[in-house]
Amino acid sequence: MDEQTRCAHYHQLRDVIALKHYCCDTYYPCHLCHAELAEHPAQLWPAYKFDQPAVLCGVCRCELSVDEYRASSSCPHCQALFNPGCKLHENLYFDLSS
């Protein structure tokens, strides 16, 4: 991944975030990177941990909690816009069933 956390899978200008994976406490640009590089299945963030830092803004390097990320369409610190497409597969990272 490059300096702004873009990866080979989603490399549009607005893909500036990395997501920490609950299973390994490691930031990956996307779930596909995790699937390729991690040697275990991904685990979803449980809802009671949504106040923990889980999203990294690649522009200003600040960390957002799951709740903060889900409530914003841009970084609250540097105003970088998040890709709205990412929200379509947030269920790949966060357990939204409860």
37 lies in the site for Zn ion, by CB under 5 A = no
Structure tokens at 40: 């275990």
Alpha-helical runs (H) found in the chain: 31-37, 66-71
Q: How many residues of this chain bind Zn ion (CB under 5 A)?
A: 17
Residues, the chain, total?
Answer: 98
Which residue lies nearer to Zn ion by CB, 24 or 44?
24
Contact 54, 28 (CB under 8 A): no
In the bound complex, what is the minimum distance in angstroms from residue 29's beta carbon to Zn ion?
A: 5
C-alpha span between 95 and 49 (Å, rounded): 10
Binders of Zn ion among 4-23, rule CB under 5 A? 7, 9, 21, 23
The residues that touch Zn ion, with contacts defined as CB under 5 A, are 7, 9, 21, 23-24, 29-30, 32-33, 38, 57, 59-60, 75, 77-78, 80
